[in-house]
Amino acid sequence: MNPDKPTILIIYTGGTIGMINDPANGSLKPFDLNKIMEHIPEIKSLGYRIESHSFDSPIDSSEIEPAIWTRIAEIIEENYQAFDGFVILHGTDTMAYSASALSFMLEDLAKPVIFTGSQLPIGALRTDGKENLITSIVIAAAKEFDKPVVPEVCVYFESKLARGNRTTKVSAEQFNAFQSANYPYLANAGVHIIYHREAIRYPGEPKELVVHKEFNNHIAILKLFPGITSEYMDAVLGYQELKGLVLETYGAGNAPTESWFLERIKIAIEKGVVILDVTQCIKGSVELGRYETSRHLLNAGVISGYDITTEAATTKMMILLAQNLDDEEVKMLLNKSLKGEITLP
């Protein structure tokens, strides 16, 4: 094979793309990556040097946990110098969490890391996995002036390439399963792949890849709803090891103004719990203080997550809390765009 051709590593973690029907009970079960490649012989015509790494036991995306993110990051770290780009085959249910996590874990990343998968198994007649995988490989290999076109952690699905930490899964049925509601897509694939370079983050001076592998998962997500009770809040905030809280509020960051609600928020913050306010809305941004129903949160010390997704907020908080930082440093970094995950006003 031509040594000047791009080199791509495919990392197969599991997911629907690698499933087949079990004739015994009709359920889906995983099969190995080599069989996936057999279903897409067109990949060979690309002329790239493509290698693969499969998890010994493919993992359903509902089983994903921080230890799996670390395994993926270590595979990239170990092979970083040998490959031009990486394609990660992953189940769709937690793909947005994994792509968000990897975006924060891979500091000074200068190569493409493309997450993809499918809604139908690769062997199904109408599978979306074939196009998703082929185009992900092409994007991971794309260069201009000998530099990667998209040196970011991304999600590619149904003709759209999105920044990984901007994505949310919005459909369990449609092939167009992911949305980047608050940030432009990085590329659109039709007859040609159109890259939107103004939306892509490019690294500055070349630096060595640094991989953050530690997580503090002593966090919680508290979604507000009409009728929420003090007992419910006590159950969540009463977790003794709680270090961080992603508070999913209404609209532009609004929450109840009852004294019992604010009292519990203040007590948690006084105990050292970092609270990040994110909106329940798919599109839009938190604007603490814009309405009276959010000013009390701002005054209590709650941090604005602006337009960050819950997936990015969760993984970013886990990684920051695991670092040797004091509370004020964590708050400052949560309030800052580290990997293009938030749009600052």
Which of 209, 216, 201 has the alpha carbon at shortest distance from 339?
201
* Helix, strand counts (H, E) of the chain: 9, 20
3 state DSSP class of 99: helix
Burial of 38 (0-12, 13-18, 19+ CB in 10 A): exposed
Phi-psi region of 34 (alpha: psi -120 to 50; beta: other; left: phi over 0): alpha
**CA–CA separation, 236 and 58 (whole Å):** 33
Contacts of 321 (CB under 8 A, 6+ apart): 216, 218, 219, 243, 244, 274, 330
CB-facing half-sphere around the CA of 4: CA atoms within 13 A: 1
**CA–CA separation, 101 and 99 (whole Å):** 5
Where do we find the tokens 């990343």?
109
Question: Of 16, 70, 94, 127, which one is the catalytic site residue?
Answer: 16
Q: Are 213 and 73 in contact (CB under 8 A)?
A: yes
**CA–CA separation, 317 and 293 (whole Å):** 25
3 state DSSP class of 139: helix
Contacts of 269 (CB under 8 A, 6+ apart): 275, 300, 301, 302
16 is catalytic: yes
Residues annotated as part of the active site = 16
